[in-house]
Amino acid sequence: MPKTSENSRALTELLADPILQMVMKADRVTEQELVSLIGATLSRLGAGSTDRSALKGARSARDYRASVGIMLLNKTNEVFVGRRRKTNGDAWQMPQGGIEEGEDARVAAFRELVEEIGTDKAEVLAESKNWLYYDFPRSLIGKGRHKGWRGQRQKWLVMRFTGKDSDIDINTAEAEFSEWKWVGLAELADLAVPFKRLVYLSVLDEFHDAVEPFDV
């Protein structure tokens, strides 16, 4: 039996497990979110493209907008999050944005910091080994900036903020956030919108060893 068929059958059996279904229901995790997390985990472990395609069906990188995400840490390991403008509820997120054609992920990260928080006073501590994927909710597909994309594939960087809080100015030319704050690592996943939550958990897991506080 081809490996893709074996993986698809194994995933189907896993999702049908009653104990797993009970845990997913209690934690309000959808099957789509769980599959995304498994795919992200395989990416970090260096699994082949065949394995990942078995998990996500006919996923193609062309369907996912290339973007960069930034876990920006202050000297005490609090994470920068901003509250999205023009969204309902508490939509908090870490800085992120599209990677332009031919642009390096690190160059994109510093550009996005300037565009979203008004400063690029930061240094790179680590970069994700592989792309992390998430799908847009159906309600967002085909609308605004999401038009034509199934979701995003992201390279993530953990960066240390080297400036002062007074350097941060979210009232940029194309303001992304209405307010901002530093939060503890343990709070991060709970602040994220549901369709990004598992990517945030993957980022926390991958960058665990890179997150060490400054000497103060």
49 and 137 housed in the same domain: no
84 and 179 housed in the same domain: yes
Question: How many structural domains compose the chain?
Answer: 2
| Positions in the chain short of pLDDT 70 | 1-33, 35-37, 39-61, 88, 139-148, 212-216
Give CA torsion, residues 215, 192, 13, 17, to 10 deg: 90
3-16 and 49-56 helices, crossing angle to 10°: 40
143 and 178 housed in the same domain: yes
129, part of any domain: yes
Residue 118 has what pLDDT?
97
31 and 9 housed in the same domain: yes
Residue 134 has what pLDDT?
87
75, part of any domain: yes
pTM above 0.85, yes or no: no
89 and 28 housed in the same domain: no
List the end-to-end C-alpha distance of the chain, in Å, as a whole number: 58
Domain that holds residue 111: 61-210
215, part of any domain: no
Q: How far is CA 91 from the centre of its chain?
A: 14
Choose the final residue of a domain: 12, 30, 56: 56
